Amino acid sequence: MSNRTVVGFSGNITRPSKTRGFVDHVVKSIAARSALSANVFDIEDLGPSLATARWQRDLDSDAADILRAIVDADVLVVGSPTYKGSYTGLFKHFFDLIDPAALRGKPVVLTATGGGDRHSLIVEHQLRPLFGFFEAFVLPTAIYASDRDFIDGTLSSEAIQARTAQAVEEAALLLGARSATAAIAAE
């Protein structure tokens, strides 16, 4: 299959960002493992139209293109910094603009960052239910990284790298199974 993509989306509004770097790391790992093209976006890439958009049609063309890339991706990697125990408000607002059926069955890898371990359940108690609402195929391994897992903004923790490798393998298995099913159906 050609033009298969993995798209990352970070809920960060500042750059540089550990969260965006983390999402980028996961996206590049999936792309390399499964021979996919890759794109990573964050809130900043959406521009000013996001803040005033009440409907998808209110987004400017750049933001609409990013939304389309997310919906059309073969695999989606999402991440948010932890803000008061949850994902950022603009992250949620962006996903509120997506049609609930648009992500049905889409493989999604959940990631999050935070200041310490007390926020680690964001992936299970905030992100997993959000993408469950969309009926996305959320991969079993979600990844949370705290400040201590980074050195100079770069992921340095062997444990988090191992967890990332586990999620990358899950994505590869799912993509392989879907490719095999498509090939059988085409016969």
Which has the minimum average pLDDT: 70-84, 92-106, 168-182? 168-182
What pLDDT sits at residue 154? 87
Determine the Cα–Cα distance for residues 93 and 77; give it in Å rounded to an integer: 17
Residue 71 pLDDT greater than 60, yes or no:
yes
Residue type, 185: A
Q: How many domains, in total, are found in the chain?
A: 1
Judge contact between 169 and 139, C-beta under 8 A: no
Task: Give me the domain span that covers residue 51.
Answer: 5-186
Task: Tell me the mean pLDDT in the region 171-178.
Answer: 92
| pLDDT confidence of residue 108 | 98
Cα separation, 137 vs 132, in Å, equals: 8
Q: Is the pLDDT of residue 52 over 50?
A: yes
Q: What is the pLDDT of residues 82-136, one digit of tens each?
A: 988 899 999 999 999 999 999 999 999 999 999 888 888 899 999 999 999 999 9
Residue 1 has a pLDDT of 44
CATH number of 119's domain: 3.40.50.360
Residue from 90, 4, 84, 82 nearest 41 by CA:
90
Tokens at 110, concatenated = 């959940």
pLDDT of residue 116: 83
Which amino acid, residue 54? R
Binning pLDDT at 50, 70 and 90, where does residue 2 land?
Answer: low
Rounded to 5 degrees, what are φ and ψ at 59? -75, 145
DSSP symbol at 58: G
